[in-house]
Amino acid sequence: MVLGTVAIEDPALLYVAVQRFGPERVVLGVDARNGMVAVRGWEQTSTAAATDVIARARDGGVQRVIYTDIERDGTLSSPNYDATVEIAATGIRVIASGGVATRANLERLAEIAGVEAAIVGRALYAGTVRIDGPDEWWIEPAKDGIGEGE
């Protein structure tokens, strides 16, 4: 399950979900604008830094976050690599979202330790990223030690 605004506004609910369903089944969804968490369908920007929210969630047992950079989402302008590095540095597994335009963008994201996947949306519709078969879906991620031995 992916928990977004509700997890930001009621972190206790997130921790209960992790305990009840297990950390592999609960993903925190964080949307951010200029590093600050946005909630309620991006309508409101909070005063909470995305890295702080994610670090607290990690401390509460969350293992994975879908991180969306709102300013890049749907723009085909390339991901916000610097923000993605900051998020990954919290020690949580990252699914990066926002701005992917090319396979090269995906390859660069894969080089960031802690990034385990990326969401590709508009690039598929626009045809700037093509995935002709299952062999093209996999890009070897960076070796980072997160989750190894589990």
> Which residues, 6 or more positions from 123, have their beta carbon under 8 angstroms from its beta carbon?
76, 100, 101, 102, 129
Of 29-33, 40-44, 91-95, least confident by mean pLDDT is 40-44
Give the SS3 label for residue 29: strand
- Is residue 7 very low, low, confident or very high in pLDDT (cuts 50, 70, 90)? confident
Q: State which H helix or E strand residue 93 sits in.
A: strand 93-97
CATH code for residues 2-136: 3.20.20.70
- Is residue 150 very low, low, confident or very high in pLDDT (cuts 50, 70, 90)? very low
Q: Select the more confidently predicted residue: 124 or 114.
A: 114
Given this model, what pLDDT does residue 131 score?
Answer: 79
Q: What percent of the chain has pLDDT over 70?
A: 90
